[in-house]
Chains A and B, each alone.
Chain A
């Protein structure tokens, strides 16, 4: 199971890298989304995918899945939500101000403005 997950995560990272190297800002942001998906799935996989009950006490399970990676993912998800929301608004605002979403055109130094 871990092997399949490793391949899937690898493809996610590959796609993310490809998208982040493109010119359009929106494609770059989609790339960051895929990158964080990959990272979160990687935490889950590296924590171990052994069979066990959901980590809720009260049932009569013999073994549980590791609760720690799930907590880490939850934290990482909300953080990347916050950053992505900020990034999207920043992209929107810079589209209004700079009039382009092509990162090739976002060059120059302070003196050009």
Chain B
């Protein structure tokens, strides 16, 4: 069935539309959202299998031929990211049931939740640069609503900043697309790539390098790289936990994906821009590490860890050899899973203790051993301890760094792991060890149901690490497409 790859976009879209009608019946909303979420996981799994067997899937919407209509393209990287997004969506959904509260659920929470997934899945799947902009806007508008829903003072204040930054970056995106259109005269990504290689036979013209840097600024603002990360710590600390987990796992990763896609598909003729990307990625790692060890607030520690991970992935992309690209894709998927898990776990700690200040929390492990050990495993996975999921990706990125003779970069990535481990173990040691105390006068808060979601993610993360042998063929296939744009171009333009 050729329409298979559009289903991970259409299912959440229709679900969102139906959920608007059901806004008063909370139980019905939950059931519908749950069913659609499972359906999305199944279809995106089928897409992954289809791409594995038959190569890149492309769908010309309305059967207009490739450069003239909008083309949806699912290569292995997009398919894997859509699958990961669907899984994270499902997990955050079941966490929301218990934690988001009736008032928000009545005000279209699940509808907006589904529209966010439409935007993210669409941005991963599209093969048209302006369509990418539209899906970005779908994603961002849902994220504005999710950020402000509830209307507390801190949410209002941070939404204004988040909104302003994203309005500016969207305008820059439009400007960058306008410049690119005037140079190449097409919007289809495969066709743009083909045209750019035609005019770049003797090196890339200067104007294209400028456009490349503009795209880096636009997607860097979305993906929070140095020096464009300034909006993130404040904005991400404002919303409730399941929303924060969705944002932390998905939104910045769409920016990272877009940088990866545009740089490997369009701008691979000019290694200077890759040098710039490499420097910015390494500075992101350093800034993120400084933030992660400086704070005593649990949310802030994990938020700065997002910046570190974005830096590590983009460093892998900027080195551009087989090992580093494979590592970057591997690490990207691992990081989406583990960041969602960590935010959800911290959410449970905040639910129990009523504070996110680490100095006011201690001894949780005596009353909540399940929570404690899950957090411990998640922390080890984040730092990249061998049997768990973060190891293979980082190993390959470091290997790629050494092969590309970028020794300083590889060293910074290695050192950052140590400090990441320190920052996250700071939460474990201070929060879970030490003298046990009671919070809000209760012996034990009911956290069984809340714990299901992060445990699911940690199990997935562990399996992802242990079974990396069987996952590697998929990731290699994704890396092959990124390293050789002709595979992508041929699949879309069918020459």
Q: Which residues of A contact B (CB under 8 A)?
A: 20, 25, 28, 32, 35-36, 38-40, 42-43, 45-48, 68-69, 72, 75-76, 79-80, 82-83, 86-87, 90-91, 93-94, 97-98, 103, 106, 108-110, 113
Contacts and interface: CB of A to CB of B under 8 A. Distances in A.
A110 B182 contact: no
Contacts, number: 99
**Secondary structure of the A contact surface, majority rule:** helix
A39 B156 contact: no
A87 B163 contact: yes
A113 B153 contact: yes
B237 interface: yes
A38 B164 CA distance: 16
Given A35-B171, A42-B178, A90-B163, A79 B137 contact: yes
Q: Which 3 A-B pairs have the closest CB atoms?
A: A46-B182, A94-B156, A46-B178
A55 to B, nearest CB: 15
A38 B238 CA distance: 32
Contacts of A91: 160
Given A86-B163, A93-B156, A39 B178 contact: yes
A97 B156 contact: yes
A98 B161 CA distance: 14
A9 to B, nearest CB: 9
Contacts of B182: 46-48
Contact of B178 (A35, A43, A79, A113): A43
Interface stretch (B85-93, B144-152, B380-388, B441-449): B144-152
Interface in B151-208: 151-154, 156-157, 159-161, 163-164, 167-168, 170-171, 174-175, 177-179, 181-182, 187
B174 A76 contact: yes
B228 interface: no
A96 B375 CA distance: 41
A35 B168 contact: yes
Contact of A32 (B154, B164, B356): B164
A75 B178 contact: no
Given A20-B168, A32-B168, A69 B181 contact: yes
B134 interface: yes
B45 interface: no
Q: How large is the interface on B (under 10, 10 to 19, 20 to 34, 35 or more residues)?
A: 20 to 34
Contact of B164 (A28, A39, A42, A72): A28
Contacts of B356: 110
B171 A106 contact: no
A113 B152 contact: yes
B141 interface: yes
Contacts of B402: none
Contacts of B157: 94, 98, 106, 108
A35 B164 CA distance: 12
19 contacts: A32-B167, A39-B171, A42-B178, A46-B181, A46-B182, A47-B182, A69-B181, A79-B137, A80-B167, A82-B141, A83-B144, A83-B170, A90-B144, A90-B159, A108-B157, A110-B238, A110-B356, A113-B153, A113-B154
B23 to A, nearest CB: 19
Contacts of B167: 32, 35-36, 80, 83, 87
B110 to A, nearest CB: 19
A109 B234 CA distance: 8
Contact of A25 (B141, B145, B151, B160): B160
B156 A75 contact: no
B376 interface: no
Given A83-B167, A87-B167, A98 B153 contact: yes
A50 to B, nearest CB: 13
Interface in B234-250: 237-238
Contacts of B137: 79, 83
B130 interface: yes
